[in-house]
Amino acid sequence: MSTERANGSEPKNGTVDDVARFARRAGQLAGWAARTGFDLTRKLPGVDTAERGFRTVERQLLTELRRRLDEVDDPYHAALTAASAMNRARLDGQPVEATVTLVPARDNHAEPLRAAMAELLNHSIGFGRERAREYLYAIILRQLTPDEARILSALSDGSPFPSVDVAERTGIGGTGRIVLRNASTVGKTAGVSLTDQVPGYLTRLIGLGLVDLDEEVPSLETQYEILLTDETVREAEQLVKRAKFIRRTVHVSRLGARFWQACDPSLG
């Protein structure tokens, strides 16, 4: 429904455990903020100072989490490292041994892209279902930004949030070019830092398969009206002569729910 308005090898257990521990700590902070409406208490005395401290700790944890995740097997990273090693010599003149078996090109230089694919294929031979799922989740987790983690936390209980696309209305009442996709109130609810990037965040989460789009939910009418006053939506509206708003909802997908269950810090 729409409304219109004119105008490599198995990772060491220690590394995996460290990743899980830091993921729980970082996620715990993000989940707590999203669920307790941390942003709604900012007017209380002393909360500004507390929030700054919270943000600092959160950034430190997420930075450390990224470092730990970088230690998890990454075929392309391993291949690049090995390729670099093969093309330089030690100080004593002896060649540096590669950490993975690379695919040599005709000029005897390593081809890291082919080597990375070989690593993935090698992994697929020995992976069981649980290890394959863990690997998939680790790769997804590495792609998320802190704001996207907050959004996923807010969606994790299965509740739908309103979303709208802003399109140009054609002369016969149809839909022309779309100038904004996936604007939603979920960003403010989750307490993201970059509210103007929420449409992009949701587009990425949908692309990763963690979030689904669905039909408009009439019971969210008030939230839709609030969303239409959002600055990002209003700016997009100015890009067309006559705007058409396509209403939908966003909610966690089946994959997203399973991914969150595996990563949920409150269950650790």
What contacts 168, CB < 8 A, 6 or more positions away? 175, 176, 177, 178, 179, 240, 241, 242, 243, 244
Does residue 14 sit within a domain?
yes
253/201 same-domain check: yes
Does residue 89 sit within a domain?
yes
Q: Which residue carries 């100072």 as its tokens?
A: 49
The CATH number for 178's domain is 3.30.110.190
Does residue 241 sit within a domain?
yes
| Structure tokens, 94 | 């002896």
- Full residue range of the structural domain in which residue 112 is found: 75-139
The 10s digit of each residue's pLDDT in 135-153 is 899 999 989 999 999 999 9
| Structure tokens, 216 | 């408009």
| Structure tokens, 49 | 């100072």
Residue 9 binned pLDDT confidence (cut-offs 50, 70, 90): very low
Q: Supply the angle between the helices 254-263 and 146-155 in degrees, to the nearest 10.
A: 110
Does residue 45 sit within a domain?
yes
Q: b or e along 114-128 (b: 16 or more beta carbons within 10 Å of the residue's beta carbon)?
A: ebbebbeeebeeeee
Do 252 and 211 form a contact (C-beta atoms < 8 A)? Answer: yes
Residue 111 binned pLDDT confidence (cut-offs 50, 70, 90): confident
The 10s digit of each residue's pLDDT in 183-215 is 999 999 999 999 999 999 999 999 999 999 999
Instruction: Judge whether residue 50 has pLDDT over 80.
Output: no
Which of residues 139, 164, 194 is at a domain's end?
139
Does residue 94 sit within a domain?
yes
Q: How many domains does the chain have?
A: 2
244/165 same-domain check: yes
Which of residues 86, 116, 139 is at a domain's end?
139
Does residue 2 sit within a domain?
no
The upper half-sphere exposure of residue 133, i.e. CA atoms within 13 Å in the direction of its Cβ, equals 11
